[in-house]
Structure 1
Amino acid sequence: MKSIIILYLLGTFLAGLIAVIASFIFPVSLTLAASTENMSPPGGITEVLKALLLNLVDNPVKALYTANYIGILSWAVLLGLALKNAPDTTKTMISNFSDAVSQIVRWVINFAPLGIMGLVFDAIATNGIGSLLSYGQLLAVLIGCMVFVAIVVNPIIVFLTIRQNPFPLVFKCLRESGITAFFTRSSAANIPVNMSLCEKLGLDKDTYSVSIPLGSTINMAGAAVTISVLTLAAVHTLGIQVDIATAIILSVLSAVCACGASGVAGGSLLLIPLACSLFGIPNEIAMKIVGVGFIVGVLQDSCETALNSSTDVLFTASAEFAQWRKEGKEIIINK
């Protein structure tokens, strides 16, 4: 399990890093109907780190009132650690509250098409039909990054782990898990498919019965790509200068955000304001970016889920195959 978790976290971080690099090579600017008069972008890495530290230790009530997402996240982590030894009744209550919040998120997402229709109408009425071209460019960068991670980055990770040709395993996972996840758009809903695939590969049930459900929660390479690309689209649109050090911090932050992404369709988009706060982008503009994400979400979310779910099996199998190699067992992958 230790090796699997390391692969999960490494894959998610590298996906975020690839997305950041691609966003600098192919910058995308969007048309946003929002004022930027009161925005104060950071001047460099020093200001970014200072703002990040101050946001982390912000008063919890103030963090909620001002929508300081980084402060809310840090207090949530501390609260979780403090409640580790709480009675089971308290944990049950918190779990029920979490389920209720997730249900509210689903309701909000169900109303997203109405908001998307308004955003598209406003963009076309204000800037003409040509404003939709930027959405196509954004979608191309998103899908391009996910495809690159799936057929270049992940095979390299697998090769370094099992020391043999990774592509039979990579393509088997994409074919039998990724295609199903593409249409379900939910890593959680694809867990039975991944369980069946692990059984076909002859993996240890005691391992994959834990790693697959865990991966559907924390192994979110596609979500890291989405968060990084859309955040930097906002940054390029507003003309904010980003140095290399800040970009690396964004890669780490997008990986952390991705690990906490909701399992519902479009859940990763709701974490974009957290990443945008790193650059001092106000919530009004950040939510415009979320709306743009919902516009391209049909293809983006399907590809994101396919990448997320297929790598759950890929990394679980890679970790066990590496153990087999040490024990001198033959690794056979049925095509």
Structure 2
Amino acid sequence: MNLSYFTSLLNRTGLVVQILIGMLAGVLLALLAPGWAGKVSLLGELFISALKSVAPVLVFILVTAAISRYDSEQPTHIRPILVLYLVGTFGAAVIAVIASLMFPTQLVLVNAADIAAVPPAEVNDVLKTLVLSMVANPVQAIADANFIGILAWAVGLGIALRHASDTTRRVMHDLADSVSWIIRWVIRLAPLGIFGLVATTVAEAGLSTLGNYLHLLLVLLGSMLVVALLLNPLLVWWKIRSNPYPLVLRCLRESGITAFFTRSSAANIPVNMELAKRLDLDYATYSVSIPLGATINMAGAAITIGVLTLAAVHTLGIDVSFGTAVLLCVVSAVCACGASGVAGGSLLLIPLACSLFGIDTDTSMRVVAIGFIIGVLQDSAETALNSSTDVLFTAASDIAAKRQAGI
């Protein structure tokens, strides 16, 4: 088999099929030769690093270029997408609370001494961090992958460039095309990256530790599946008034699988951008909505906060009133939207939610420690749900707008 034949075969095989082959190969390597799994971890680390390094530049350039070329007669559809983001996140919080009350979890609290991070004390702290992120130094924002700051500067610069010469705006357009070209090559490496990530995850995680928290995992993952396969399709149907599952399953397959193993919404932005392009969505819309969704569309985080908080509540034998349950849904949704502005993400927001029930910080941090133990699955599933929903809701809103316009 010569190189040209192999290249031709590779080009004829779809990327999703290649990723599935990479997943299968990674599982087999971890099970049959676990010693080799650590040696291929570099492939996964390189893939994630490449995605993370290019994502901030991609968002900054693409959003700036899109805003600079914005035509007021062809408005974007950001507002209905934001509505879907907020409704979806709150709906996920409600499902998490209902699932936790139906299937209460009892925990054996572990030592939290190794967790050095300090959780925010109030919701105001989360919102303050989020707002301050908007006025961060643009260079620092790109270096730190602060997407709130990147979006703020990109929108501002894009508006300013609308008054620039056609040549300047054309340069921005060419830069956007060039960055997109780099992204396509990075994404072509996804099968190798997924192979390394799967092999390392299966070899290192094991199932014995996770088995101790099986009930908690089932409630978490079950809630996320309900959101992915029932709530999200219902919201998409509400927008497009037709069978939502072909679109839902495609987004889960082509975005969710990659996000599951990269465990980073930011790293999955390039994947979602490429998928949005293949879905023929409006460029001016998805170039803003997808990076924005990676910051505020956090259904998975809302589920994590709600389920783990109520696990602590049930462990301590605290009664949950209807009013407190509703308040927890609101707090989980609001905190989830600001999770990306807090070091440690959704897990470090659990003590804040636990304070609604009078649970002290030491006890709640022990619950956070359990979150880190099961994080190999919890964080993966959470990211897959969050990231695939970004492109799903963007596509649903775009399809609805085009149908309404008769396109």
> What TM-score, normalized to structure 1?
0.72
Give unmatched runs, 5+ long, in structure 1: 35-64, 85-89, 103-128, 330-335
- State the shift of 1:156 in Å: 0.4
1:8-38 alpha-carbon deviations (Å, 9 max, x no partner): 011000001000000000000101268xxxx
The two structures, once aligned, show a CA RMSD in angstroms of 3.0
Structure 2 match to 1:319: 397
User: Would you say 1:191 and 2:269 are equivalent positions?
Assistant: yes
- State the shift of 1:262 in Å: 2.6
Give unmatched runs, 5+ long, in structure 2: 1-77, 112-117, 148-207
1:48-99 alpha-carbon deviations (Å, 9 max, x no partner): xxxxxxxxxxxxxxxxx9963335346557x75xx98xxxxx7429966x94
Structure 1 match to 2:100: 23
Structure 2 match to 1:219: 297
Q: For this pair of structures, how many residues does the alignment match? A: 264
Superposition pairs of residues 132-171 of structure 1, within 5 angstroms = 135-171=213-249
> What TM-score, normalized to structure 2?
0.60
1:119-157 alpha-carbon deviations (Å, 9 max, x no partner): xxxxxxxxxx9x976511000100001011101110000
Q: Look up the equivalent residue of 1:274 and give its one-letter code.
A: L
The answer to whether the 8 Å contact 1:174/1:306 transfers is yes
User: Would you say 1:92 and 2:137 are equivalent positions?
Assistant: yes
The answer to whether the 8 Å contact 1:145/1:225 transfers is yes
Q: SS at 1:262's partner residue?
A: helix
Structure 1 match to 2:375: 297
Q: Look up the equivalent residue of 2:104 and give its one-letter code.
A: P
The answer to whether the 8 Å contact 1:187/1:263 transfers is no
1:155-180 alpha-carbon deviations (Å, 9 max, x no partner): 00000111000000000100000001
The answer to whether the 8 Å contact 1:146/1:307 transfers is yes
Structure 2 match to 1:257: 335
Indicate how the Cα distance of structure 1 residues 308 and 200 shifts in structure 2: closer, same or farther if over 3 A, else same: same
Indicate how the Cα distance of structure 1 residues 321 and 234 shifts in structure 2: closer, same or farther if over 3 A, else same: same
Distance 2:126 2:321 in 1: 25
Structure 1 match to 2:122: 69
- State the shift of 1:270 in Å: 1.3
The answer to whether the 8 Å contact 2:228/2:385 transfers is yes
Structure 2 match to 1:119: none
Q: Look up the equivalent residue of 2:83 and give its one-letter code.
A: I
User: Would you say 1:8 and 2:85 are equivalent positions?
Assistant: yes
Distance 1:174 1:143 in 2: 15
